[in-house]
Structures are given as structure tokens and as C-alpha cells.
Chains A and B, each alone.
Chain A
Amino acid sequence: MELTTLLEIKNIETFYVLIYALRGVSLTIDEGTITAILGNNGAGKSTILKTVMGLLDDQPDKGTIEFMGKRIDGKDTEDIVKMGISYVPEGREVFEELTVRENLLMGAYRRHDRLGIKDDFRKIYNLFSVLENREGQLAGTLSGGEQQMLAIGRALMNRPKLLFLDEPSLGLSPILVKQIFGIIKAINKEGVTMLLVEQNARMALSISDLGLILENGRFVMKGKSKDLMLDKDVQEFYMGMKSEASAKGYQRWKRKKRWR
């Protein structure tokens, strides 16, 4: 099967004024895949997404980003969105004083195909039936889980080729996490390529093709998700599983060292 590259990040470095947040990050995303980025708090996961979306002024400081063969670093966020990248930010960021329907409509802001938009409303209401029932309700009055669904639905209204999801499981009950990840997988099957940032390593690896681990602004590990899931370090540090007691102290030190 021939894979085409959708997004190519080459050696980007990002600063928040003096804070050196991304220290040379490279990443290639192939069409149709789900890529998961794991990492501890403050590792720089969200910063990668924000940098690609052009949300950080004058960043990346170094490196290049190409989407479908075109340079997008330095472009306005609005144009990057129009090219076909949608972004579900950490913490949802729905428009609280707009209704559910208006929120979804804003997702399609740059589209002009009335019929297609109508179609997509249908699709999203099929995917998230709660949203249809709450169509006229203000988004700020939705529950956290409903807001997450709305944020995903809104991002899909752009008919993205590539979808960024920043911690979609944050603050959701285990059942809802399962449901949302099921839907994410289903959306991917429809042909939407995904880049997923997650703390919930088990879930993320279980639906993704490729996994990367970020520490202090650098990728320290990369591999097929199913391989990572079996990796002892990943299990121990990201999935909270304990390795055998006898070797633990020694292994911990050794592996940590290798990662830095």
C-alpha cells in the first residue's frame, strides 16, 4: 500500500519568549493514519499542535512545516484551517454563549457549499446524538463531555483532511472516554488523518498506528503503537503498570538514563 505524506514537520524549535519548549521536533504523518503523542505534563505536546496551527507569534523559531507539500510555517492560522487542518484544543474552547448549532456552523465558516454543510450537520448529529437534542442550548451550559463532542463536531464541520486532538479524554468518565475513542476511530475510518495528544496512553495506543513519546521538548521514542504497548518502559511510566519487583530499582534508573 502506497502511503502519501500529509504533514511533514522538520526539526522545529519553539520558544515562549525565553522558555525553550520544543527542541528540534520532527514528525511525518501519512495519510489515513492515527498518530499518538504521549508525554508528561509540560513536555510540549500542546506546543507542537499550537506551533503547527500557527497560533504562536513568530514561531517556530527554526525548522519547517509542510502540509500536502506546501510550506505552512509562518502562515496565518485561518489559512492553515482553510487548507484542511482542524484542531480540537485542550479544554474544548467551545463558544460558550453560542448555541450548539451556531458552534457547528462556525466550524464550517470557510465553506460555502450549503448542501454539503447541511449534509455534515446530519453526519455529526448521527455521530453525537446528544448534540442534536441540545441544538438550541448554549454551549456553555453543556456538560464537559458534551462540550468535548461539540468541539470535535465543530472541527469536523471544516471537512478536515487532518484532525488534531489535544487530550480528548481529559475530565471524561471511563465510559465516555471509550465512546469518544470509538468515534475517533470511526472518523479515521472515513478517511480523516489524525494527530492525537493524550495522557491516557493505553487508549491512545490502542487506536493509533504510530506512537511517539515526548520529553522536555524532544521525541525520545517512536514506534508502532502495538509495539509501544508491549514496551516495558512505556508500560511502567505511561500506563502505570509495575514491572517485576526484583529488577525494578535498577531498571528504572537505567531506562531513565537512556531516555534523556
Chain B
Amino acid sequence: MFVQLFISGIAFGSLYALIALAMVIIYKTSEVPNFGQGEMAMLSTFVAYALLENYGYSFTISFTGSLLFAALLGIFLEFVFLRRAKEPNVLSLMLITLGFQMILYGLASWKWGADQRNLAFPVSDFDTIQVGSAVLSYLNIATILITLILMFILFLFFKYTKVGIAMKATQQNAVAAKINGIRTNRILSITWAMSSVIGAVAGILLAPIATLDPNLMMDPLIKGFASAVLGGMTTLVGAAFGGYMLGIIENLFGGYVSLEFKSVVAFGIIVLVLCFKPSGLFAKHYVRKV
């Protein structure tokens, strides 16, 4: 049973890790936890659904369209709302992202209502394979693999591409980035697009095993946020590990202790981290210069 709980914990953890990564990428650049992240992903998932069911497009086109929508949505929100804030502080920025959350939730409720839908997915959630003593669905495996591939792409992006390095540079010191000719506004747009796309991937992977309605990402967002806090909010590696850890711990807790209180684990972890290591488990020692 342990192995089973552990491995399916990794599958859930993958989703948390994706959301955590999405949040950390924005946090490092815009210096705000984006509470609209979940709803951005939810709306993008609905776009995939609409393209599939209402317009009858193929999986490839629908999912690509959804990710494209996610990218544009991220760019749009940052450009239209966040960038307008003059000399913003964290509180006002947080308020703006809460605004995204409400607007997008409202939009989805108005367009798709509260009906519970099901997003089809090319990989089955019912067919399973035996891995050691554990049983995994194809969808579980796809989730784990896609997440790993995405993380690897991110790793390459930040390590080897000029834009990726410029993104890190902008996160560390925006003024210094400007005096090197880096268009920091463009970097912000790219950041939001990337983050939004990563969130949308999580949404599309989650929707087939959950029910697709406007509440799709409510719970996962809190878990993703908890993972990011656990990892330290400022490191991508930390966010990823935080996600996996939370997924596993939560699953074990659900299996051995109490299924009803499974969801409380994330909250408990946030409280514990804030008490004992507020900078997160993986935070670097650098103090950020503002």
C-alpha cells in the first residue's frame, strides 16, 4: 500500500509542482503571488474543452489552441492590469491578482455555468499498468512524464538561452537589466505567458480526473501555493520538490491517517514552514536587493 500511495502521490505532486512552478516564475519577476493563477488555468482548460466539444477539433489543435490562449491571457493580464500600477507594493499587486481570480471565475461561470463537464483526454485514466506492487493509470504516467519533460525544457531554457538568462537577470536586478539593453517589459510579458501556459498544462492534465467546472483549480491552487512556499517561493527547483513532497505526504496522510482531513495537510505544511523555516526548504542564501 505504501508504494501505491507513494507513486500516486507523485502523480498528484506533478500537478502541484506545475502550479508551484507557474507561481514562482511570476513571483520572481513581478514579486507577487499570483492568486489568479488557478483561474487562468481553469479558463484555458475550458478553451480546450470548447475547441474539442463545441468545435470538434482534434486533441492536438484543441490543446495547442488552449496553450496559445493561456499565453495570450497571461500577457494580456500583466499588460492591462499589473503594469498600470505605479510604484506598486505587494499588497496592491496581490489585490490585483485577486481581481483576476474573481473576473476569470465570473467569466467562466457566465459562459459555462456550474454544469459539471468532463474533458476528454487522449490517454485513458482507466487502463492501468502494474509498476512493482503499485497500479498506475496511463494518465498518471502521462502526467508524470509530461511534467518531467516540461521541467527539463525549463531547465534548458534558463540555463542555455539568451532570453532565459535575461529573464533571470531581470528578476535579480531590473535596472541593471535595462542598462544592458534588456527590454524588461518584454521579459515580463514572456514570463506571464510562460507561467500561464504551465498552469494550463496542469489544468488540462487535471480536468480528465476531476470534473471540469469553474471550481476546477480552487483546491489545486492552494496546494500549488503551499508547495511553492514549502520550496521557498524563489527557486524553481524548490517549487518542483515542494510539489512532489506535498503530493506524497498528502497521499500518505490520506491513506494512513485520515482521508477526510487530507486537504488540511497543505494548510498544515504552510503553517509549519512559516513557523520553522519561513524562507522555505530550498531558499538560497542570497538576500534579494530591492
* Residue ranges of A at the interface with B (Cβ–Cβ < 8 Å): 53, 55, 76-78, 81-82, 86-87, 89, 93-98, 102, 105-107, 109-110, 140, 154, 158
Q: A97-B284, A105-B162, A140-B286 are contacts. A81–B179 as well, Cβ < 8 Å?
A: yes
The reply to whether B180 and A158 contact each other, CB–CB distance below 8 Å, is: yes
In the complex, whether B181 has a CB less than 8 A from a CB of chain A is yes
| Interface residues on chain B, number (Cβ under 8 Å) | 20
Besides the contacts A89-B176, A96-B172, A140-B286, what 4 more A-B pairs have beta carbons closer than 8 Å?
A96-B289, A106-B169, A109-B181, A158-B180
- In the assembly, what is the distance between CA of A221 and CA of B75, in Å? 50
Secondary structure dominating the interface of B: helix
Which residue of the partner chain, among A94, A98, A109, A158, contacts B168 with CB atoms under 8 Å?
A98
Q: How far is the CB of A101 from chain B (nearest CB, A)?
A: 10
The residues of B with any CB-CB pair to A shorter than 8 Å are: 162, 165-166, 168-169, 172-173, 175-184, 284, 286, 289
Leading 4 A-B pairs by shortest Cβ distance: A110-B181, A81-B181, A93-B176, A77-B178
Given A77-B178, A78-B181, also A102-B165 (CB < 8 A): yes
> A81–B39 Cα gap in the complex (Å)?
39
CB distance from A196 to the nearest CB of B (A): 16
Provide the bound-state CA to CA distance between A198 and B179, in Å.
Answer: 20
Contact A95 B172, beta carbon cutoff 8 Å: yes
Contact status B173-A55, CB under 8 Å: no
CA–CA, A140 and B168, complex, Å: 14
Q: Complex: how many Å from CA A86 to CA B178?
A: 11
30 contacts between A and B (CB under 8 A): A55-B175, A55-B178, A77-B179, A78-B183, A78-B184, A81-B178, A81-B181, A86-B179, A87-B179, A89-B175, A93-B176, A94-B176, A96-B172, A96-B173, A96-B289, A97-B172, A97-B284, A98-B168, A98-B169, A98-B172, A102-B165, A105-B165, A106-B169, A106-B177, A106-B180, A109-B162, A109-B181, A140-B286, A158-B180, A158-B181
Shortest CB-to-CB span from B206 to chain A, Å, is 32
Q: Tell me if B172 and A154 are in contact (CB < 8 A).
A: no
Residues of A within 8 A of B179 (CB): 53, 55, 77, 81, 86-87, 89, 93
A109, B166: Cα distance in complex, Å:
8
